[in-house]
Amino acid sequence: MAEIQDKITQLCPQAQVDTTGEFPLVTVDDAQWHDLARALKNQLHYDVLSAVVGMDWTDALGCVYYLTNTSTHELLHVKVATTDREQPRLHSVVDLWPVANFQEREVYDFYGIVFIGHPDMRRMFLRTDWVGYPLRKDYDPASNPLRLEDETNEDYTCRWVEDENGKVTKVDGKVFEDDEYVINVGPQHPSTHGVMRYRASLDGEIIKKVDVVSGYIHRGIEKMCESLTYPQMLLYTERMDYMAAHINRHCMCLCVEKALGLEVPRRAELIRLMMDELMRLSSHLLSYGCLTMDQGATTAFFYGFRERELIYDIFDRTCGARMSMSYSTIGGVVADVHEDFIKDVRHACDVIEKNLAEYHKLFTGNVIAVNRMTGVGILSKQDAIDYAITGPSGRASGWHCDVRKTNPYSLYNEFDFDEVTYENGDSMDRYMVRMKEMEQCIKILRQACDKLEAEGIQGEYIAPKVPKMMKLPAGHWYQQVEASRGAFGVYIESDGNTKPVRVHFQSPCFNLIGVVDLTCKDNMIADLITITASLDFVIPDIDR
Amino acid sequence: MDFSIFGVQSTTLAITAALTGVLLVVGALVIAWLIGPRSYTEKKGEPFECGIPTRGDSMAQYHVGYYLFAILFLMFDVETVFLFPWAFRSGLCLEERSVEMEVKIKSMKHEDFKDNEYIDNLVEQLRAGGTNIIVGKLDQLMNWGVSNSLWPLCFGTSCCAIEFMCLGAARYDMARYGFEVARNSPRQADYIMCQGTINYRMAPALKRLYEQMAEPKYVIACGSCTVSGGPFKNSYCVVKGVDEIIPVDVYLPGCPPRPEAFFYALMQLQRKIKVQKYFGGVNRKEKLEGLKYVKEETK
């Protein structure tokens, strides 16, 4: 850590580096931030901008940037603040990390911080006629009643430009030119997998540009978390990416446990890990079903759902619910596993393994599938890193980004499994990564079954001393896990009370919509559906 | 009159044509006009159904190649029309008539579910007024048809939609009850199963979709979010129950509800439909209300 401190002070003498926390924290003024960011990226290889967390510290507004080093997988966070509440302005880092495009728009939407140099400063999730900025501490909820009239003014955008003298001016622009042929897809469309909306500009059948309009399921989870205690917050983690419910909840538990210094029984951690892998299996099966259905293979959809029911039954027996299980809790899991748990998991593994061959036979080699997916929607490795595309979609581009391997959490370093990567980064590879990952899930589950059997089928499942009143020590806490669709992160800022000051969820799907435009460009309009299906995002995870 | 087509006398053919082509079609149209409930709003007339107001001109120039493609498509389509009579005549289709199966779909028995006071009251009200035997029988026939072919609109915003997909898959198989044809266009759907949170941005789109549906139309509020806002009640942008926007027929709590609960809700909706009255002025009333609504909108 001291090494990094020296390097950063060398790069930017004005920056303050604090190494007392979990990760080094750099505090820098907005004036030096852009230069420091460039140096961090080009000289120290902090290639991935994992998260941009908007903040309201009451006396100041600002952002916390989480950077990941691609070679050492170390994390670093940078705090940039401004005290101007009337016209808060920071410099954009879109030119360095393209993923910042949507991330900064989100911060603008929630906190009203304008990013100088950002090409498209529009609202991200809220209505275009929204008044005020909801995540500010002084926001009045009464200022925005339910309105049933349609949104207007969605074609216009603006950007703030700084000239040599440091004078900032606003430049208006349009999303699409007047003579462009624009097709609207969604929010009510079966192939958007929820309520996503794309506006695609076409030249004949070729897509020229896709404008992603999000926010049709934005529920303000982050704001609600600020008025809840830590155990209460767990509820929302399951309702973002409901196809990674266990994993998200696990992440939140790990983050709070880390902050509290709570020791979790090994057996509980093992059960959580098994649930995570079952969830991943279930998620990839759904992804298979939806991707195939979007290409007209309805039978394959039924196959995928047939196996998912096996997993649902396991959840049902142990957790008492099919979805939104609420099983992990701070300190362990809420109840012990069902006595037939291991038997059921082994059975599910056997059945799914056998049927995976059938899936390939049914769909993978099919001429339609091959033609519609091979070489379509290519995402290069560099683009995947620039846009922070983690998870199966990132690994399809050849980027080794599995958090289970790079920053092992839980008990993953005890398990023998491979990180599946492909090279081309097209729709086919993204599909294949998921299919191969299911085999790895089964491999992990079988090992976990043996371990759990060795440790006793029933036993200790929760830490003996879990505090009733949970007060996190003041500071920042950040935890990443590998969810079904990529790296999921939880950021908690605490001031030492029972309720947090700020909670941010870094969702993998939010980054995925950033590459919709990139991957769809110069492809056919019909491929928009296959490409987005192969990226496989869950809309409530994007909108939160 | 020795002229015949496929061995059928032309007089027989003429009568058949008159019966099917004129009487049935005109009859169906007249009956539908007489008894079909209707509602009119401005939004119903819009050409697209994605929930967003239509903008610009939907008439656009296409490349000439597409017309060629369309003509070819039509040619093959027309060919298939002639293919079937030919296949029947030449004995290619040996099995001319499939065996008629009589499937009785059992709705919920009243003894099993006595909890729905609302429907019980409705039935009592109807009984108190007395029903004409012919009109009553016709109503029963209509309701039998409507309640057994309820087509949902695919409208899943979040978690409940996954359970709805399970409902459509093989294990729960909602096709058994005639619910299977999930429609993507509101104009072909009978009911909206509103699955998932509705926020302030989605609310106008949901309203538009509801108005674009053809009568008779129903709404099931599925999951706690749509019933009352659920866990997101305290949010700054979540609608606290869809009944703030559109009328709801059945409330289905759960987060998310189990597929069995989905069936329960759908059967409740069937029960509600079974006591509906088409004859006797109900539809006319709705029509007038609709017109009033249009007038208010245009003001």
ipTM: 0.85
Does A452 lie in the same domain as A307? yes
Higher pLDDT, B108 or A72: A72
Asked if residue A180 has pLDDT above 80, the reply is yes
Q: How many percent of chain A have pLDDT more than 90?
A: 3
What are all long-range contacts of B59-68, with beta carbons under 8 Å and residues at least 24 apart?
B60/A181, B63/A204
Collapsed DSSP state (helix, strand, coil) of residue A428: helix
Ordered structural domains, chain B, with CATH: 4-35 (no CATH), 122-298 (3.40.50.12280)
A 167-186 near B (Cβ less than 8 A): 181-182, 184-186
Cβ–Cβ contact B193 with A under 8 A: no
Contact A377, A528 (CB under 8 A): no
- Alpha-carbon gap, residue A480 to A17, rounded angstroms: 22
Specify the pLDDT at position B96.
37
pLDDT band of B122, cuts 50, 70, 90: low
Asked if residue A183 has pLDDT above 60, the reply is yes
Contact A55, A493 (CB under 8 A): yes
Cβ–Cβ contact A11 with B under 8 A: no
Query: In sequence order, which ranges of A12-72 are alpha helices (DSSP H)?
Result: 30-42
Mean pLDDT of B267-294: 60
A522 Rama sector, left if φ>0, alpha if ψ -120 to 50, beta otherwise: left
The token pair at A189 is: 């469309």
Residue numbers of the domain that contains A264: 221-543
Does A253 lie in the same domain as A156? no
Does A225 lie in the same domain as A130? no
Strands A16-18 and A75-82: unpaired
Centre a 10 Å sphere on the Cβ of residue A36 and count the other Cβ atoms it contains: 19
Specify the pLDDT at position B105.
37
pLDDT in tens, B188-199: 888 888 888 888
Asked if residue A27 has pLDDT above 80, the reply is yes
Does A245 lie in the same domain as A156? no
Least confident of A155-164, A225-234, A521-530: A155-164
Asked whether residue A334 is domain-assigned, the answer is yes
By Cβ distance, the residue of A190, A197, A217 closest to B196 is: A217
Count structural domains, chain A: 2
- The string of DSSP codes covering B165-193 is HHHHSTTT-GGGGT----BSSGGG-SEEE
Q: What is the CATH number for A489?
A: 1.10.645.10
Quick one: A388 exposed, middle or buried, by C-beta within 10 A (0-12, 13-18, 19+)? buried
pLDDT in tens, B133-192: 666 677 777 777 778 888 888 888 888 888 888 888 888 888 887 787 788 888 888 888
Contacts of A255 (CB under 8 A, 6+ apart): A477, A478, A479, A490, A492
By Cβ distance, the residue of A147, A188, A195 closest to B49 is: A188
DSSP A217: T
Does A348 lie in the same domain as A272? yes
> At A436, which helix (H) or strand (E)?
helix A427-454
> What are the Cα distances from residue A104, in Å, to A93, A97, A100, A111?
9, 11, 6, 10
The residues facing A51 across adjacent strands are A66
pLDDT in tens, A58-75: 888 888 888 888 888 888
Asked if residue A25 has pLDDT above 60, the reply is yes
Asked whether residue A194 is domain-assigned, the answer is no
Asked whether residue A92 is domain-assigned, the answer is yes
CA max distance for chain A: 72
Centre a 10 Å sphere on the Cβ of residue A323 and count the other Cβ atoms it contains: 24
Contacts of A242 in chain B (CB under 8 A): 158-159, 162
Does A528 lie in the same domain as A415? yes
By Cβ distance, the residue of B155, B159, B184 closest to A239 is: B159
Specify the pLDDT at position A21.
74
pLDDT in tens, A372-415: 888 888 888 888 888 888 888 889 888 888 888 888 888 888 88
- The string of DSSP codes covering B53-86 is ---S-S-----HHHHHHHHHHHHHHHHHHHHHHH
The residues facing A387 across adjacent strands are none
The dihedrals phi and psi of B46, each to the nearest 5 degrees, come to -70, 145
Mean pLDDT score of chain A, rounded to an integer? 85
pLDDT in tens, B203-242: 888 888 888 888 788 888 888 888 888 888 888 888 888 8
Asked whether residue A124 is domain-assigned, the answer is yes
pLDDT in tens, A458-488: 777 887 787 788 888 888 888 889 888 888 9
Asked whether residue A228 is domain-assigned, the answer is yes
Cβ–Cβ contact B27 with A under 8 A: no
- Alpha-carbon gap, residue B44 to B25, rounded angstroms: 25
> At A341, which helix (H) or strand (E)?
helix A341-359
Core vs surface per residue A510-542: b (16+ CB within 10 A) or e:
bbbbbbbbbbbeebbbebbbbbbbbbbbbbbbb
Does A240 lie in the same domain as A156? no
Q: What is the CATH number for A88?
A: 3.30.460.80
Contact B196, B158 (CB under 8 A): yes
pLDDT band of B127, cuts 50, 70, 90: low
Asked if residue B284 has pLDDT above 50, the reply is no
Contact between B236 and A134 using a beta-carbon 8 Å cutoff: yes
Specify the pLDDT at position B165.
84
- Alpha-carbon gap, residue A473 to A489, rounded angstroms: 19
- Alpha-carbon gap, residue A465 to A330, rounded angstroms: 11
Collapsed DSSP state (helix, strand, coil) of residue B9: strand
Specify the pLDDT at position B2.
53
Contact between B170 and A324 using a beta-carbon 8 Å cutoff: no
Asked whether residue A169 is domain-assigned, the answer is no
Cite the beta strand spans of B227-280 per DSSP E. 250-252
Omega before B216 within 30 of 0, i.e. cis: yes
C-alpha A215: how far from chain center: 15
Residues in chain B, total:
299
Asked whether residue A176 is domain-assigned, the answer is no
The residues facing B252 across adjacent strands are B222
- Alpha-carbon gap, residue A6 to A368, rounded angstroms: 56
pLDDT in tens, A109-156: 888 888 888 888 888 888 888 888 888 888 888 888 888 888 876 788
Does A230 lie in the same domain as A135? no
Interface test with A, best of B58, B174, B201, B235 (most A CBs within 10 A): B201
Asked whether residue A489 is domain-assigned, the answer is yes
Omega before A145 within 30 of 0, i.e. cis: no
Specify the pLDDT at position A1.
65
A 103-132 near B (Cβ less than 8 A): 125-127
Cβ–Cβ contact B167 with A under 8 A: no
A 135-174 near B (Cβ less than 8 A): 139, 141, 144, 146-151
Higher pLDDT, A16 or A517: A517
Q: How far is A145 from chain B (nearest CA, A)?
A: 8
Asked if residue B6 has pLDDT above 70, the reply is no
The token pair at B152 is: 């949902």
Does A233 lie in the same domain as A104? no
Cβ–Cβ contact B69 with A under 8 A: no
DSSP A127: -
Contacts of A105 (CB under 8 A, 6+ apart): A118, A120, A121, A122, A123, A124
- Alpha-carbon gap, residue A273 to A444, rounded angstroms: 9
Asked if residue B298 has pLDDT above 80, the reply is no
